Chain A
Amino acid sequence: MTVTCKSVSAKRGGVEVLHDIDLVVSAGTWVSLVGPNGSGKTTLLHSIAGLVAATGDITVAGVTPRKSGRRAVARAVALMPQRPIVPEGVTVRELIRLGRTAHIPRFGSEKPHDLEIVDRVIARLELEDFAPRSATELSGGELQRVVLARALAQQPDVLLLDEPTSALDIGHQQQVLDLVDSMRCEENLTVIAAMHDLTSAAQYGQRLVLLDRGRIVADGPPAEVLTADRIAQVYGARVEVLDRRDGRAVLPLREREDA
């Protein structure tokens, strides 16, 4: 098992926002974390990455996030943030090179081997034309590809995505998610993705984990987790769930008074 969480609880600002989470994810799978705003998706991702103090036991690719050093954790897990911070004046290649941080000596710099890996990732994600450009000039979709490239340059076993496409239009959403999925297949990556769009979550995730107020309320294949009743109960939303050849789609409904 690549990721194991046993009775994990975590606090944010003194308030417990994750309660007693048990989650086991096997290597090479894509698990979509879904749930309303504030349900604990980001905190769970940050607990797995060791970015917040959590009680309980977490192991990720043989590493214990809060006990192992940051470098060991960063070699095992990479995080793709929702809205990446782009420093003024930094080029795309420089931003991607930061992904090698955990692999080079603490006070050293990149060796030819590291630069090779960076070049390979840039080529794989077809970013050659962008590489010398300033990262602040990129569109949202391009930037997410760059941040994915940085995460891949970390050569992690586990990739955590924190609503990676919520700022993107539907076309770029598909591009980025397709890219992550093909990298998952090529590199046998384990992907845990917090997602807002339930349809995408079901299309890409082999398994869905539904969080509500810091607890897991459903966990299983998309067809089991996504039911109209459950979505109404957890999100307070009226939806119709459609079964399609390529997965389960969730369609929001509007009840018009004049209809």
Chain B
Amino acid sequence: MTSTPRRRALVLGGAALVLLAAMLLGILVGPAGLTARGVLLDMADALPFVDVDSGLSTRQQAILWNIRMPRVVLGAVVGAMLAIAGAAYQGVFRNPLADPYLLGVSSGAGLGATLAIVVGGAAGFAGVPMAAFAGGLLAVAATYMLGRSVGTGRTEVVIILAGVAVAAFANAIQTFFMQLHDDTLRQVYSWMLGRLSTDGWSDVLTILPYVIVSVAVIALHRRTLDVMSVGDVEASSLGIDPARVRLVLVGVATLGTAAVVSASGLIGFVGIVIPHAVRLVVGPGHRLLLPLSLMVGAAFIVLADIVARTAMSPAELPIGVVTAAIGAPFFLFVLRRSRGVA
């Protein structure tokens, strides 16, 4: 897996092309009959100093710019964040099964969303993103404090176990409230299974600052994550402070994940499968793993969303169902292939 600069550039360039192609496909596919030519010309028209007539009607333009595009961009941002956060979590915990959901982001967010729906009724649905965000962050904070208070020995294992306990606790309370208010089950489930909304750019703009900060901080730690892979004792003796790195990265990865989960619901499988698949192909070096996970994760969600929109059209499948249904066989394929090669 020696990564020469040339090979790295090729791999990253290829992934960027795949992502662009996926996004273009996401913009093109749909019921309103937008032609590829019209979409491309209209996008070209939006560039500075370019003036062409796309032939799209005003209504078609509105669909393109205010429905299709924000949804595709939202999907890309969500996928990118979940995948790079998964790579960061796996790196700091040296555990291939670690992802932001494991430390309680998903169960905390689920509890927060459930409470908002149950307590707030119809008005509560507007408060779901905020409640999910707060719930996710609180659950991970609880996990971290619980893990730290137990012992200083094998911190990474203790924290994951604490996460399992916090998640079980949050799930129990969530189930209790869902049973108590079974009229809200449908709403809660639809949020939990994940969905990308189509109401303009507000979701994208709300979560983007968190995602940018989170991705930037994780990317800065690319080499530090390589050092973390030799374990706490050796990493310390090489000159880093594993506990501090873990705190910082868990913090920012959780922040970004809680933000995207608040907008998209619980889209599973991406945080574990994408970094893993990427690692099997290009090796464990984070200099390639992080940007590649980001782009592959983004493309994966955009493509999964196309399936979610079209498979049972005009009805929509929950995107979480699609990511798991595509992700599991895809992952097995990559796993088999890499074994065959090795």
Residue of A at shortest CB range from B241?
Answer: A70
Please, what's the 1-or-0 string for B229-256, where 1 marks a CB less than 8 Å from any CB in chain A?
1110110111111000000000000000
Residue of A at shortest CB range from B280?
Answer: A89
Instruction: Tell me the residues in window 1-32 of chain B with beta carbons closer than 8 Å to chain A beta carbons.
Output: 1-2
Kindly list chain B residues whose C-beta atoms are within 8 Å of the C-beta of A75.
Answer: 239
**Total number of B residues with any Cβ neighbor in A under 8 Å:** 25
Kindly list chain A residues whose C-beta atoms are within 8 Å of the C-beta of B230.
Answer: 84-87, 95, 98
Residue of A at shortest CB range from B228?
Answer: A87
B99 to chain A, nearest CB (A): 18
In the complex, the number of residue pairs spanning A and B with C-beta atoms less than 8 Å apart equals: 78
Q: Is A94 touching B221 in the complex (CB atoms < 8 A)?
A: no
Q: Is B236 touching A51 in the complex (CB atoms < 8 A)?
A: yes
Q: Is A107 touching B221 in the complex (CB atoms < 8 A)?
A: yes
Our pick among B220, B221, B283 for the contact of A89 (Cβ within 8 Å) is B283
Kindly list chain A residues whose C-beta atoms are within 8 Å of the C-beta of B237.
Answer: 49, 51, 74, 77-79, 81
Q: A109 to B225, alpha carbons, bound, how many Å? A: 12
Kindly list chain B residues whose C-beta atoms are within 8 Å of the C-beta of A77.
Answer: 237
Q: Is B238 touching A89 in the complex (CB atoms < 8 A)?
A: no
With A51-B233, A81-B234, A98-B230 given, is the CB distance from A89 to B239 under 8 Å?
no
Our pick among A84, A85, A102, A107 for the contact of B239 (Cβ within 8 Å) is A102
Q: Is A70 touching B284 in the complex (CB atoms < 8 A)?
A: no
Q: Is B2 touching A132 in the complex (CB atoms < 8 A)?
A: yes
Please, what's the 1-or-0 string for B209-239, where 1 marks a CB less than 8 Å from any CB in chain A?
0000000000011011011011101101111
Q: Is A71 touching B220 in the complex (CB atoms < 8 A)?
A: no
Kindly list chain B residues whose C-beta atoms are within 8 Å of the C-beta of A49.
Answer: 236-237
Q: Is B285's CB within 8 Å of the partner chain A?
A: yes
Q: Is B153's CB within 8 Å of the partner chain A?
A: yes
Q: Is A194's CB within 8 Å of the partner chain B?
A: no
Q: Is A90 touching B284 in the complex (CB atoms < 8 A)?
A: yes
Q: Is B279's CB within 8 Å of the partner chain A?
A: yes
Q: Is A184's CB within 8 Å of the partner chain B?
A: no
Kindly list chain B residues whose C-beta atoms are within 8 Å of the C-beta of A200.
Answer: none
Residue of B at shortest CB range from A46?
Answer: B233
Q: Is A84 touching B238 in the complex (CB atoms < 8 A)?
A: no
Instruction: Tell me the residues in window 278-311 of chain B with beta carbons closer than 8 Å to chain A beta carbons.
Output: 279, 283-285, 287
Our pick among B2, B239, B283 for the contact of A70 (Cβ within 8 Å) is B239
Q: A134 to B73, alpha carbons, bound, how many Å? A: 39
Please, what's the 1-or-0 string for B174-197, where 1 marks a CB less than 8 Å from any CB in chain A?
000000000000000000000000
Our pick among A13, A85, A91, A132 for the contact of B234 (Cβ within 8 Å) is A85
Q: Is A93's CB within 8 Å of the partner chain B?
A: yes
Q: Is B2 touching A93 in the complex (CB atoms < 8 A)?
A: yes
A18 to chain B, nearest CB (A): 17
Q: A89 to B287, alpha carbons, bound, how many Å? A: 14
B151 to chain A, nearest CB (A): 8
Q: Is A73's CB within 8 Å of the partner chain B?
A: yes
Q: Is B238 touching A91 in the complex (CB atoms < 8 A)?
A: no
Q: Is A99's CB within 8 Å of the partner chain B?
A: yes
A sample of 12 inter-chain contacts (CB < 8 A) reads: A49-B237, A70-B239, A70-B241, A78-B237, A87-B284, A89-B283, A90-B229, A90-B285, A98-B227, A102-B238, A109-B223, A150-B238
